[in-house]
Amino acid sequence: MPKLDSYLFREFAQSTFAALVVLMIVSLGGVFADVLGDIARGRVPAGLMLSQLGLMVLNYLPLILPLGLMLGLLMAMGRLYRDSEMPVLVATGVGPRRLLRPLLMLVAPVVAFIAACSLWLGPWANDYAQRMVAEGNRNLLLAGLEAGRFVELPGGGGVVYVGAMSGEGSALSRVFVYRQDGDRMDVTTARTGRLTVDGPERYLDLGDGFRVEGPLADTLDFRMMRYARNEMRLPDAETRSAEDNPEFDTTLELLGDPRPEARAQLHARIAPPLLAVAFALLAVPLARSPPRQARYGRVAVAFLAYVVGMNLMLLGTRWLADGVIPLRLGLWWLVLPLLAAGTWFYFRDGHVAAPRRRRAGGAE
């Protein structure tokens, strides 16, 4: 590898890595807030918080990496202009075509990883996370139930207390369950209990206990019942249905699915790597700046271009699913013009227009 290519690649890679680290730290805060919101609404068992966080990050990478790549290239090229290295390189004949090799050495693997996340890892993470939540909701131990502690049931359906439980979380003892329905309350106690599952429904099979049902107001309309066995259905957790949802289908399955929602999801997975290429090409001409201009003067322009492009991609996906734009048009109306503009601006970067000829007889 020539020394110039090695030097430029190192500069590009270091700046891109720094930008990605900052973006990932910022994005993790938002993803963590989403996971906590799902846990609070009962969609996700508390014991699956970290695993859900990691899987959701995989799903967001196709949106984060193009911005990190663009900002990293902008910072690297901006430093070269600030330190007058680019004018020296241009004076020695290093133009956009010569910069293309070290640029592709960084852009190609990053775009390949974005494509892998968008086409394979993201859908796999969605499906695996959904299966983990469905399995976790079948097990009270994963749902956050602990011996000696009051725990709210998924979906806010009540409160349960267990004095002791077996290692796998199925056999219980000294059970207390409080539920509220409108202006009535229901308190159930049991000496023993166990968790049973019948399809998607979960039950607490309680033995040797009491059940008290009555009003919340100051009246005496209470009923008490002693039982030898009582089967209590647990409230369903609020989950996102994966049935007929193309977000949980693999890319190969989407290729053979004629539904508008599936075609829209397919285009939404193809677009991010192509947009990453367009943003990377636009970063080089956007970074050009005079010696006394601020180093990151055009970062705001680049960020605005990214926001507009990604929002148009998300809007276009919804328009495709709703039938607002024809399916044969897909998202190519956005991707292809951006790629063409990025390529044109990249290879036109640094070109000087030919001087105009003076008119005959004009003043000197």
pLDDT surpassing 90 at residue 108 = yes
Distance CA 284, CA 99 (A): 9
Residues 220-275: pLDDT tens digits? 778 888 988 888 877 665 555 555 678 888 888 888 888 888 899 999 999 999 99
pLDDT surpassing 90 at residue 133 = no
Query: CB under 8 Å to 21, separation ≥6 — which residues?
Result: none
Can you tell me whether residue 327 is helix, strand or coil?
coil
- Tell which wins on pLDDT, 133 or 340: 340
Contact criterion met (CB below 8 Å) for 155 and 42: yes
pLDDT at res. 241: 52
Identify the bridge partners of residue 196 per DSSP, sorted by sequence position: 203
**Block residue for tokens 């013009």:** 337
Determine the Cα angle at 102 with ends 101 and 108, to 5°.
80
Distance CA 178, CA 158 (A): 6
332-345 burial, b for 16+ CB within 10 Å, e for fewer? eebbeebbeebeeb
Contact criterion met (CB below 8 Å) for 310 and 63: yes
Would you tell me how many other CB atoms lie within 10 Å of the CB of residue 279? 25
- Is the pTM above the cut of 0.85? no
pLDDT at res. 199: 63
pLDDT surpassing 60 at residue 16 = yes
Band of residue 89 on the pLDDT scale cut at 50, 70, 90 = confident
pLDDT at res. 169: 62
Identify the burial level of 286 via C-beta atoms within 10 angstroms of its C-beta, where 0-12 means exposed, 13-18 middle and 19 or more buried: buried
pLDDT at res. 170: 66
Angle between helices 299-322 and 49-82 (to 10 degrees): 140
Q: Quick one: average pLDDT of 105-116?
A: 94
Identify the burial level of 98 via C-beta atoms within 10 angstroms of its C-beta, where 0-12 means exposed, 13-18 middle and 19 or more buried: middle
Q: In this structure, what are the phi and psi dihedrals at residue 220, rounded to the nearest 5 degrees?
A: -110, 25
pLDDT at res. 142: 45
pLDDT at res. 138: 62
Band of residue 218 on the pLDDT scale cut at 50, 70, 90 = confident
Distance CA 288, CA 86 (A): 9
Distance CA 134, CA 118 (A): 24
Residues 23-81: pLDDT tens digits? 999 888 888 888 888 776 667 777 788 888 888 898 899 999 999 999 999 888 888 87
For 331-338, which contacts have Cβ atoms below 8 Å and span 24 or more sequence positions? 331/267, 331/268, 331/270, 331/271, 334/271, 334/309, 335/270, 335/271, 335/274, 335/275, 335/278, 338/274, 338/275, 338/278, 338/279, 338/309
Question: What percentage of the chain exceeds 90 in pLDDT?
Answer: 22
- Tell which wins on pLDDT, 41 or 175: 175
For the chain, the C-alpha Rg in angstroms (whole number) is 30
pLDDT surpassing 60 at residue 351 = no
Secondary structure tally for the chain: helices H, strands E: 9, 6
pLDDT at res. 68: 92
Band of residue 98 on the pLDDT scale cut at 50, 70, 90 = confident
- Tell which wins on pLDDT, 296 or 184: 184
Summary mean pLDDT of the chain: 81
pLDDT at res. 114: 94
- Tell which wins on pLDDT, 152 or 189: 189
pLDDT surpassing 90 at residue 186 = no
pLDDT at res. 364: 42
Band of residue 132 on the pLDDT scale cut at 50, 70, 90 = confident
Q: Which pair of tokens denotes residue 5?
A: 């290519």
- Tell which wins on pLDDT, 170 or 327: 327
